[in-house]
C-alpha cells in the first residue's frame, strides 16, 4: 500500500511539472510568433525605405520623404474609426477613402510614404493587435530642411506587450519607454 502511495506522489509531481512546462511553452510560443512576425514587418519597412530613397545632388547618400518619419502616420494615427471594432477590422479590411491608393494610382513621394505607413501598420497588427510600429531618424545634418539628411540613421521599431510567467524580469529600456511598460521589441537600423 505504501508503494502505491509513493508511486502516486511521484507521478503527481511529474504531471505537475509537465503541466508547468506546457504553460511556459505556450507563453513562449506566442512571444516567438510575435517576434517572427515583427521581424518580417521590420524587414518589409526597411525595404520600402530603400526603394523610396532618392539620390541627392552633390551628396554621398540618399534621402526619403520626410513623411516616412512622421509618427502620426503609423498605427493609424492619421485615421479615425467610428465603429467599436478592432483596428484591423476598422482600417485594414477595407481601404480608407482618405488615403491615396498607390497600388492603382500614381502617387507623390509624400502620398507613397503615407500609403507605406498605412500598409506597414496593417501588417504589424495582422497577428498581434497590440503591436506598434514606429520609424525614427537621427539626422546627420540638422541644419538642412529635411528631417533625415543623406547618411542619417533610420530606426524601425516594432513593440508589443508581453505576458511574463515570472514576475521578476529584466526590462529592455529600448522597448519600454515608461517604467510601467512591459514590452518586447525588435529594432532594425539602416543608413541610406
DSSP, collapsed to helix, strand or coil, labels residue 189 as: strand
pLDDT at residue 11 tops 70:
yes
**Cβ atoms of 21 and 29 closer than 8 Å:** no
The pTM of the full predicted model, rounded to 2 decimals, is 0.81
Name the pLDDT band for 22 (thresholds 50, 70, 90): confident
The pLDDT tens digits of the residues spanning 35-83 come to: 899 999 999 999 999 999 888 776 677 888 989 999 999 999 999 888 7
CA pair distance 24, 163, nearest whole angstrom: 11
pLDDT in tens, 131-163: 999 999 988 777 777 778 888 899 999 999 887
Report CA 99 to chain centroid distance, whole Å: 21
Of 27-31, 105-109, 170-174, give the lowest mean pLDDT range: 170-174
Q: What does the pLDDT read at residue 21?
A: 82
Amino acid at each position: 500500500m505504501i508503494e502505491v502511495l509513493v508511486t502516486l506522489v511521484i507521478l503527481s509531481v511529474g504531471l505537475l511539472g509537465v503541466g508547468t512546462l506546457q504553460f511556459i511553452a505556450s507563453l513562449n510560443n506566442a512571444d516567438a510568433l510575435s517576434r517572427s512576425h515583427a521581424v518580417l514587418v521590420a524587414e518589409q519597412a526597411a525595404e520600402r525605405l530603400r526603394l523610396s530613397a532618392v539620390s541627392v545632388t552633390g551628396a554621398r547618400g540618399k534621402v526619403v520623404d520626410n513623411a516616412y518619419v512622421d509618427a502620426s502616420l503609423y498605427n493609424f494615427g492619421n485615421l479615425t474609426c467610428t465603429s467599436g471594432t478592432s483596428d484591423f477590422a476598422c482600417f485594414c479590411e477595407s481601404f480608407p477613402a482618405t488615403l491615396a491608393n498607390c497600388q492603382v494610382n500614381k502617387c507623390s513621394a509624400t502620398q507613397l510614404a503615407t500609403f507605406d505607413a498605412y500598409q506597414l501598420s496593417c501588417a504589424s497588427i495582422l497577428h498581434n493587435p497590440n503591436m506598434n510600429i514606429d520609424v525614427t531618424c537621427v539626422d546627420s545634418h540638422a541644419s538642412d530642411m529635411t528631417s533625415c539628411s543623406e547618411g542619417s540613421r533610420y530606426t524601425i521599431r516594432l513593440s508589443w506587450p508581453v505576458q511574463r510567467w515570472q514576475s521578476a524580469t529584466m526590462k529592455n529600456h529600448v522597448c519600454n519607454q515608461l517604467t510601467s511598460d512591459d514590452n518586447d521589441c525588435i529594432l532594425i537600423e539602416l543608413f541610406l
